[in-house]
Structure 1
Amino acid sequence: MSNPSRRVLVVEDDPVINQAVSDRLDVEGYDVVRAADGPSAVTAFVENTPDLVVLDVMLPGFDGLEVCRRIQAVRPVPVLMLTARADEADVLVGLGVGADDYLTKPFRMRELVARVAALLRRVERASDLAGRRALELGDIRIEAAARRVWCGEDEVQLTPTEFDLLLCLAGSPGAVVTREKLLAEVWGWSGASGTRTVDSHVKGLRAKIGAARIRTVHGVGYAFETGDAS
């Protein structure tokens, strides 16, 4: 059972899915708050300060992408998006507005619970970074304790997942990190079923820090390069 002090906001306009997800998370020991449209989701977020948000993309009022933008502007929080489409462009838009992970409908409830637990574990691990010194790799500066990144003089706004992904890659500059290791270290998953998730997040990270800074090793994984981006 999970820590009952962890609060999860479930935002889903389909009442059957909303109820099923809420009931399962309740059984797992989470304190669940529910919403069914964009405006009520933002209100529920402000009033209940959840530790994580499970957020459907298609919502009445305004969509999940706008919900994500608004809540991240209030307070950074892990967001697991639910989408009816696995189109890469849609996924990248979601990641770009602050989502940390996504599930494509229909999904297995067991997988949703595992994703929620992994995201919350990653937040808990953030406190372990407090004693780390800043990393300076080429023109990239990473302050692990403050979870802030600069490219040259410009600060780059990363999602929590993008930051952890960058930190994992930058911890061994030039070395290839397999997708499986990234899944284990960043997402807390023990299998290779989420390699597309890694690829999508790498693409989003490249868009923010420069494509040349992350080298693809086809069929294996990725490596952080310290040279200037082209």
Structure 2
Amino acid sequence: MRTILLLEDDENLNRGIALKLQKEGYQVFSAFQISEAEKLFDENRIDLVISDITLPDGNGLEFCRKIRNKSKVFVLFLTAMDSEIDMVNGYDAGADDYITKPFSLMVLVSKVQAFMRRMEGVCGHNRILSGNIEVNYGEMRALKRNADGVTPLILSKKELQIMIYFMENARQILSKEQILEYVWDVDGQFVDDNTVPVNISRLKGKIGNDYIQNVRGMGYIWTEESVQE
């Protein structure tokens, strides 16, 4: 599921936009202040940032510049600042698009969908490699290299999804809740509490114990670096 960070201090507008985007199939992290947005950005995998400019604890332009220093994520400004110089400043700060208020929710959704299509093109890797493990995205097939050559890994669909999620977020701690949301597309309310640990245990039994480590009280971490090609 693609993820969106929404930074908007108007609570009603924030909730309205979030609800619409969720209905379109996106996971939305809502923030009402820059401090909240920075924390959410650092703790989650974000595909698109939608941000106001005038905010209670700072300026959205500065927030955008901070993001640009560490990420190539798409940024869209949604603001009442509608002068030509405002727009120029927004693009100079690193924004990919700029929408002025009042705005059409339908147009916003269309722009979001366009960004996601562009992302599929940018992220169109053929495979991901980590340690002795390789996953071919097109075939959704996993291999493990060893002294005797290459051996196919016989994984269930969920095990493969978990492994890909770990590899794409190598050396980052992933909580049980994050794994549930990404792989099962649920928040865990109706899923057995042992679902994630059991599947990870089975996965470790097939790929070896060294790749995934338990971080007590926090979640799990993939210990090897990953490369996408």
Query: Normalization by structure 2: what TM-score?
Result: 0.53
- Tell me the CA shift for residue 74 of structure 1: 2.0
Whichever residue aligns with residue 89 of structure 2, its letter is V
- Tell me the CA shift for residue 85 of structure 1: 2.4
Partner Cα separation in structure 1 for residue 124 and residue 21 of structure 2: 27
Q: Which residue of 2 aligns with 1:55?
A: 51
Q: Return the index of the structure with the highest Cα Rg.
A: 2
Partner Cα separation in structure 1 for residue 62 and residue 81 of structure 2: 17
Whichever residue aligns with residue 30 of structure 2, its letter is R
- Tell me the CA shift for residue 89 of structure 1: 0.6
Partner Cα separation in structure 2 for residue 86 and residue 120 of structure 1: 25
Whichever residue aligns with residue 37 of structure 2, its letter is A
Q: Tell me, which stretches of 5 or more residues in structure 2 are unaligned?
A: 127-229
- Tell me the CA shift for residue 49 of structure 1: 2.1
- Tell me the CA shift for residue 7 of structure 1: 0.4
Q: Which residue of 2 aligns with 1:76?
A: 72
Q: How does 1:210-229 map to 2 (within 5 A)?
A: none
Q: How does 1:99-138 map to 2 (within 5 A)?
A: 99-127=95-123
- Tell me the CA shift for residue 72 of structure 1: 1.6
Partner Cα separation in structure 1 for residue 125 and residue 77 of structure 2: 26
Q: Which residue of 2 aligns with 1:12?
A: 8
Q: Which residue of 1 aligns with 2:40?
A: 44
Q: Which has the higher strand share?
A: 2
Q: How does 1:83-94 map to 2 (within 5 A)?
A: 83-94=79-90
Counting aligned pairs with the same residue, the percent is 42
Shift of the 97–129 alpha-carbon distance from structure 1 to 2, 3 Å rule, reads farther
Q: Tell me, which stretches of 5 or more residues in structure 1 are unaligned?
A: 131-230
Q: Which residue of 1 aligns with 2:60?
A: 64
Partner Cα separation in structure 1 for residue 29 and residue 124 of structure 2: 29
Partner Cα separation in structure 2 for residue 129 and residue 46 of structure 1: 24
Q: Check conservation: 1:42, 1:70, Cα contact below 8 A.
A: no
Matched, 1:22 2:26: no
Partner Cα separation in structure 2 for residue 68 and residue 103 of structure 1: 15
For residues 164-209 of structure 1, the C-alpha deviation after alignment (integer angstroms, 9 at most, x for no partner) is xxxxxxxxxxxxxxxxxxxxxxxxxxxxxxxxxxxxxxxxxxxxxx
Query: Normalization by structure 1: what TM-score?
Result: 0.52
How many pairs align? 126
Secondary structure of 1:74 counterpart: coil
Secondary structure of 1:33 counterpart: strand
Q: How does 1:140-159 map to 2 (within 5 A)?
A: none
Partner Cα separation in structure 2 for residue 26 and residue 129 of structure 1: 27
- Tell me the CA shift for residue 124 of structure 1: 1.4
RMSD: 1.6
Partner Cα separation in structure 1 for residue 67 and residue 123 of structure 2: 22
